[in-house]
Amino acid sequence: MNKRLAAFLILLGCLGTVLPVQAQQFPNRPIRFISPYPPGGGNDTLARILADKTGDGLGQRVIVDNRPGANTIVGTEITAKSAPDGHTIILLPTSFVTNPSFYRKLPYDTERDFAPVALIALSPQMLVSHPSVPANTVKELIAVARAKPGFFSYSSSGQGSVGHLAGILFTMMTRTEFVHVAYKGTAQAVTDLLGGHVPLMFSSTLNTLPHVRSGKLRIYGITSAKRSPALPDVPTISEAGVPGYESSLWYGVLAPAKTPPAIVQRFNAEFGKALRQPDVVEKLANQGVDTFYSTPAEFTARIREEIPKWAKVLAAAGVRPE
């Protein structure tokens, strides 16, 4: 064996011992858990519930860091460019897989620059309105919208957000025309909905279910294929008058690419433990959210499947990347 080959084999052996040691020493300081929205929204609420529980298991504080802007792109870019040592992770919704179809150039590569950790929750969206809207059912809403194209507007947390997509799909399938009003975050979008400044919204249950229960908002239906266990008396939009309609919202945790697999698996295990705790399940159920635990490989497969799926929907709707 020549000297160069021998030296190379020794180096490989050293790397093989260093990486496990790094993983064993993880975490050695507080972990930054990025929420790419302002405080108070659904993503932020979910991040804070999980931060408390995973911090206990990891033996370090997990600190929620709100980095809103550009439909999650600001916080997502920060994550992509962070050191892949396990001390920065992010909680992202479905917009992670739809942004590539809305923006010509992203400051990161959706598939290459991240290490998926786990899909952790599924939440149906709700089609809700301010009580002043002159329609009590989905069918009545469609009838008014067809009679008055552009009469209704709907708010969302931003261009390309899941709520925006749900509205696009709804208008496509009902042959109606709504005006989209994009906000820089969910909290302000909900505030203006409650104030009657914008009449409609496709929103996660985390954001608007309490207002539906208090009577401040009217609910027409949920966007999932099946009724929600948290809202058994609320029909799906498909049942209520738009057969085949479905637009699901998920939440998942990702780390920067090249994060050691042992650290990714450690996070996956800790989130799995958190999602099995009865108080976490109860807190999320009260918000209309179902816990959903996946492996990193399963979450990776879902991301790769949904990017082209939503690209086709947006192309059919005539939406082009900005």
Using pLDDT thresholds of 50, 70 and 90, give the confidence band for residue 30: very high
CB 179 within 8 A of CB 152: yes
| pLDDT on residue 139 | 97
CB atoms within 10 A of CB 163: 30
CB contact at 8 A, 88 and 27: no
Rounded percentage of the chain residues whose pLDDT exceeds 90? 66
Segment 123-166, tens digit of pLDDT:
889 999 999 999 999 999 999 999 999 999 999 988 778 898 89
Q: Which domains are seen in the chain, by residue range?
A: 29-122+249-316 (3.40.190.150), 124-248 (3.40.190.10)
Distance CA 278, CA 21 (A): 34
pLDDT tens digits, one per residue of 173-197? 999 999 999 988 888 999 999 999 9
Instruction: Give per-residue pLDDT as tens, 33-55.
Output: 999 998 988 889 999 999 989 99
Query: Residue 5 above 60 pLDDT?
Result: no
Which of 268, 287, 321 minimizes the C-alpha distance to 54?
268
Q: How far apart are CA 55 and CA 64, in angstroms?
A: 11
Instruction: Determine the angle formed by the axes of helices 296-316 and 162-174, rounding to 10 degrees.
Output: 50
User: Above 80 in pLDDT, residue 6?
Assistant: no
Give CA–CA dist 281/266, Å, rounded.
21
197 DSSP assignment: S
pTM here is: 0.77
Inter-residue contact 62 to 267 (CB < 8 Å): no
Read off the pLDDT of residues 210-269 as tens digits, 9 standing for 90 and up: 999 999 999 999 998 888 877 889 999 999 999 999 887 899 999 999 999 999 999 999
Kindly report the average pLDDT of the chain as a whole number: 89
Which contacts qualify for 136-141: CB closer than 8 Å, 24 or more apart?
A: 136/218, 137/220, 137/240, 137/241, 138/220, 138/221, 138/237, 138/240, 138/241, 138/242, 139/240, 139/241, 141/220
In the numeric block, the tokens 């519930």 are attached to 49
Q: Which of 173, 106, 113, 124 is nearest to 145 (CA)?
A: 173
Pairing status of strand 290-291 against strand 114-129 = antiparallel
